Amino acid sequence: MRSLTLEVIFMITTTLRLIRKSAADILRNWHVLAIFAGLYALLLATLYGFIATREARVWQVLLTLLFVASAPAIFFLMQAAIINQARQGKIEWYLALRDSCKLALLTLPLIFVGVGIIYLLNRWQAHFPAPHLAPLPLVSAAAPGKPVATPPTHSPTVWFPTARVLIFVIALPLAMIQLWVDLGRQNLLTFIRAGARAVLKSLGQTLSRAFAPESVLIYSLGLIVFALTPYVLLFVRVPLGGTWRELVVFSARLALVYVFTLFGWVLTLSTYAKANDGPALPGPILAAGEPNPRTSITTDDGEVATV
């Protein structure tokens, strides 16, 4: 029991050190962070243009199609650039552009899996409709001590949304990030030609690393920064007096949401890239005592720690 506790503490400490090192590298290379901020702003502008453009004329339809094609390209280019910078210390745009195509190909199977899961969950949930409840009678003011009847909880109404959150917010993003990091820089044709057995074995190892405690911890901490904190900033309202004050506070909230989502996602993906820096396919045999680059990292103190 004590050994297990020490292993958990060591895992958490090592992961936090790696996150801290990644954050320090990002803040130190502020010009690279400015490039990511520009790509992120371009992505948001493209999505806004797609939503705001009305398909009334030919040029508007063409503009909408341009936005549809540009948004995924910018998104995957940004992800490839983040991973490339985390590994190389700089952005090699040729490699980032090439790897962005691989990331898009690796994401397609997960999109199909997600669509299939949505279809199955919707069909399954249709077999558990919520019962129709009569409206509760009003509580009489003359009987304040009388208990108020509450409708029974419909369990499937809780189970299915919980399953959707676990699958689409945690499981699929974890698998997607690990596929990007492990296979994004591989030659996919060579990887596929290795045979079904080798491919399935490598995919199994990738998925096992995706749901390892270290990966879940990195993603959970990143989720707080790039998702939970922006949600609280954007939707938790504080009543203020005056229209101009409301406008200023809302603008500040949008700016903070932009900063947190950008920095949190860059930090999360960079940490994954550094923690999993190594070949996805079987690598060379290591000499005795030589640390495995896929399962070890160098901390700030220069020591090698296994992750």
- Comparing 88-92, 189-193, 204-208, which segment has the lowest mean pLDDT? 189-193
Is 80 exceeded by the pLDDT of residue 153?
no
The alpha carbons of the chain give a radius of gyration, in whole angstroms, of: 24
Instruction: Give the confidence band of 137 by pLDDT, cuts at 50, 70, 90.
Output: low
Mean pLDDT of all residues in 199-207: 89
Q: Which amino acid is at 196?
A: A
Q: What is the dihedral of CA 257, 260, 264, 267, to 10 degrees?
A: 140
The size of the chain, in residues, is 307
Q: What is the pLDDT of residues 159-173, one digit of tens each?
A: 999 999 999 999 999
Is 50 exceeded by the pLDDT of residue 31?
yes
Whole-Å CA distances, 195 to 103, 162, 198, 200, 202: 21, 37, 5, 9, 11
Question: Which carries the bigger pLDDT value, residue 269 or residue 291?
Answer: 269
Q: Write the CB contacts of 190 (distance below 8 Å, at least 6 apart in sequence).
A: none
Q: What is the pLDDT of residues 91-123, one digit of tens each?
A: 999 999 999 999 999 999 999 999 999 999 999
Q: What is the dihedral of CA 193, 76, 295, 189, to 10 degrees?
A: 10
Is 90 exceeded by the pLDDT of residue 292?
no
Is 90 exceeded by the pLDDT of residue 59?
no
Is 70 exceeded by the pLDDT of residue 138?
no
Q: What are the helix (H) ranges across 53-92?
A: 58-88
